[in-house]
Amino acid sequence: MNVNKLAYVKEAKYLGVIICNDLKDDGDILRHLRNLYARSNSIIRKCHYCSMGIKLRLFHAYCCTTYCCQLWVNFNKGSYLKAKVAYNNMHRRILGYNRRDSASSMFANNAIDTIDALLHKNIYGFKKRIFNINNYLIMVMYNCFEIVNGPMWISVVVHSKIVIMSRI
């Protein structure tokens, strides 16, 4: 800009979301992974002697938050699997389960969503909010061919179909 050179960076944090120069979401997924470990370890350290009900509420409040996960459309499968394994392991550690216990039965018994279910619910809620918005600019963007056929919207449609199919 004018005489000043702009710095080139590989990734930047904007509104809490990590945006990479290659347009992949792996950096943001790893940010979520670090936050999950930090929050979970804090719960384990500070609330070790709390009852199971309190631990469940704390896990739900602090570890089930996936800020902007509905924007994750371009990522390596390995990054997402790391986040999924970390979510399952932290749930086990907080509630005192054995590491060999089944994750699906553990989530079902405690009425906690899996990370896949959290992702699908967030995507479905995002799509629902977009459909019901009254902002003219958002409605024009919604009807734009590039947006509707882009990877994020296709991901929203695919994930919401999975959520609807799982409810049937």
DSSP letter string, 37-63: HHHHHHHHHH-TTS-HHHHHHHHHHHH
Residues 103 and 109 sit within 8 Å (Cβ to Cβ) = no
Q: Can you give the pLDDT at residue 154?
A: 59
What is the model's pLDDT at position 43? 92
> Residue 164: pLDDT above 70?
no
pLDDT of residue 41: 93
CA–chain centroid gap for 34, Å, is: 12
Rounded mean pLDDT, 80-108: 89
Return the higher-pLDDT residue of 141 and 91.
Answer: 91
Looking at residue 44, its pLDDT comes to 92
As a whole number of angstroms, the distance between CA 37 and CA 92 comes to 12
- Domain ranges for the chain: 9-112, 114-168
Residues 1-55: tens digit of each pLDDT: 678 888 888 888 888 888 888 888 888 899 999 999 999 999 999 988 889 889 9
Write out the two tokens for 48: 């070790």
pLDDT the model gives residue 45: 92
Distance between CA atoms of residues 163 and 72, nearest Å: 17
Q: What is the pLDDT of residue 149?
A: 62
User: So what's the pLDDT on residue 103?
Assistant: 86
